[in-house]
Chain A
């Protein structure tokens, strides 16, 4: 196997046609922790993904040859490798489409290295730890998934079944953004896909119970126009 030389190094594949961005990512990410590989088009990216078997893929949606969403679909036909989208602010619909097509996360250009590293590490963590821990803790929030017990600063919180299901779903995808559509489908079923208000109300109620200040949520954050993310404090 090719990867025996550096088993501790994670391989990152960057698919982006902008050479300046590839250069920046190369100098920012290449380290003992990561080795960086580059592709400048959708086709070369797909073959690199197959040949290289990267641990994380960073994908620009605006590629010259094939649509980025198509790249996600083709990779998802054979691999569950984490895919992080790099996209500009104005394209919320593209982000949702990419996430629904199977992308794991997105970063809005321009982004800082800190943010990028956090996303990459979160993706790696999710793909390595398949079985989630029975007890989730983040800051003052603690959720015991076996006992269905939720505490905030050691005070037990009573959640409705709907609120608990939502919280559990977010916890099993901690640090990953879930689109409105994905959450609605998982919890309320396909029939409720067109009723985002039920999700909004449930999130609002859940925040009132678990957030210290629901106007400044620390646990469940909103990605405007895209979805929700449960942040796990280190």
Chain B
């Protein structure tokens, strides 16, 4: 990188001009860095990124050497991206002043000037304040002691404004002190030579204080930066773990049914005429059931990504809870088979504001879980009650339940309770339920039942929310 260590990188976006790369990056900019989309302005090419170098006041085009993980940043919060980890740049390939962006360059210079000027204006103000204070205490103190007031503002400048403005403060302080307080007053001339020693002492001490403060400030900033980096690295690690879990889950849960489908179909294709009609029927049923399972996985994954992207728009309408339960039972009909499912509803239950399609999905997922984790001979109970301003909807089974310590986690993504082989799933079903229920401003929780089994409880507000989601 040009001007090592002292480079400000400006990425610009087409509508808003530019902004500092260190502060944040947005999706569009990342795409520009990656150079894979057409939104890159025409004057620079694929894999190149224009950078405005403050030290040389020039635009340069840099080849992006490494965009590792570029694709995955897009899905992450851009605020968590650390420039140093995202792009490393080769030597500038072209040095240029793109015509289309010359105004942005000027803007860049002005911004820099304003930032720098702000520090010096600050030091002038501090000196003015010190001078005013000294004016008030002039009757009580000899001029030499007033130096301490100026020294104080130098320290303030060093802490608040940085090294250069602090030195400037010391310098302006000497001038103001000489002009206003050292006799003869209101001139820069000095009557007694010993004041020159005072000036020198004040200035030197001011510079030393400034540089010491600056060093401490730098160190604490560095520490802060390092701890931020560590935090970011930790977040990235967590996200990578999640992504890996997702990939594992997808490849496992999608491949398993595909293996059965492909196996069954190839058996039928290659030696279908030599198989007994019973065997043929079994193969066909396997393929068909597994295709259905695959379809549910796809549905779950789609719901999950839509929930995460916030793309799931609720269509909340006053709905009949009995109808809701009926829809879920009808969707589950083939999977439940002859199992006993009891439904208990309070008489005269009012309509409840909810999204029929999504809440049906919630109930289907809960019923599917209850069905998978409990023996086919046991009963599943669905119950709705009203408590205060909330509807309580429960789905209870007589399965093994879950260890108390794990109950709060069963709605986490990719969470699996240790279960028998047949109960395989994406570990997404319950987290989708939570996502949908929370989007309804509701709550979902799991409890173990007295006498064995798990009960999932959903709380939904009975009153429609005033704000539309």
**Residues of A participating in the B interface, judged by any CB pair closer than 8 Å:** 89-90, 92, 110, 112, 196-197, 200-201, 203-204, 207, 214-217, 221-222, 224-225
Contact A200 B320 (CB under 8 A): yes
Contact B318 A225 (CB under 8 A): no
Contact A215 B356 (CB under 8 A): no
List 13 A-B pairs, Cβ < 8 Å: A110-B291, A196-B317, A196-B318, A200-B318, A200-B319, A215-B322, A216-B330, A222-B326, A222-B327, A222-B330, A224-B327, A224-B360, A225-B357
Residue of B whose beta carbon sits closest to that of A226: B357
Contact A110 B295 (CB under 8 A): yes
Question: How many Cβ-Cβ contacts under 8 Å join chain A to chain B?
Answer: 52
Q: Would you give the shortest CB distance from B305 to chain A, in whole angstroms?
A: 11
Checking B322, B330, B360 against A214 with a beta-carbon cut-off of 8 angstroms, the contacting residue is B322
B329 contacts partner chain A, Cβ-Cβ < 8 Å: yes
Q: How far is the CA of A21 from the CA of B280 in the complex (A)?
A: 24
B323 contacts partner chain A, Cβ-Cβ < 8 Å: yes
Q: Would you give the shortest CB distance from B178 to chain A, in whole angstroms?
A: 78
Q: Would you give the shortest CB distance from B135 to chain A, in whole angstroms?
A: 74
**Residues of B participating in the A interface, judged by any CB pair closer than 8 Å:** 288, 291, 295, 299, 302, 306, 315, 317-320, 322-323, 325-327, 329-330, 343, 345, 351, 356-357, 360
Q: Which residues of A contact B360 (CB under 8 A)?
A: 224
Residue of A whose beta carbon sits closest to that of B302: A90
Q: Which residues of B contact A112 (CB under 8 A)?
A: 288
Q: How far is the CA of A90 from the CA of B304 in the complex (A)?
A: 13
Given A92-B357, A224-B357 in contact, is the A204-B315 Cβ separation under 8 Å? no
Residue of B whose beta carbon sits closest to that of A92: B357
Q: Would you give the shortest CB distance from B93 to chain A, in whole angstroms?
A: 41
Given A215-B326, A215-B329 in contact, is the A200-B351 Cβ separation under 8 Å? yes
Q: How far is the CA of A136 from the CA of B76 in the complex (A)?
A: 59
Q: Would you give the shortest CB distance from A226 to chain B, in whole angstroms?
A: 9
Contact A197 B325 (CB under 8 A): no
Given A89-B299, A110-B291 in contact, is the A217-B326 Cβ separation under 8 Å? yes
Q: Which residues of B contact A203 (CB under 8 A)?
A: 320, 323
Q: Which residues of A contact B327 (CB under 8 A)?
A: 222, 224
Q: Which residues of A contact B345 (CB under 8 A)?
A: 215
Contact B291 A222 (CB under 8 A): no
Q: Would you give the shortest CB distance from A128 to chain B, in whole angstroms?
A: 29
Contact B315 A225 (CB under 8 A): yes
Q: How far is the CA of A196 from the CA of B317 in the complex (A)?
A: 8
Contact A225 B356 (CB under 8 A): yes
Q: Would you give the shortest CB distance from B459 to chain A, in whole angstroms?
A: 21
Contact A214 B351 (CB under 8 A): no
Checking B322, B351, B356 against A197 with a beta-carbon cut-off of 8 angstroms, the contacting residue is B351
Q: Which residues of B contact A217 (CB under 8 A)?
A: 326, 330
Q: Which residues of B contact A89 (CB under 8 A)?
A: 299
Given A204-B320, A225-B315 in contact, is the A215-B357 Cβ separation under 8 Å? no
Q: Which residues of A contact B295 (CB under 8 A)?
A: 110
Given contacts A90-B302, A200-B351, A222-B323, 14 further A-B contacts (CB under 8 A): A89-B299, A90-B306, A92-B357, A112-B288, A196-B318, A197-B351, A200-B319, A200-B320, A207-B322, A214-B326, A215-B345, A217-B330, A222-B327, A224-B356
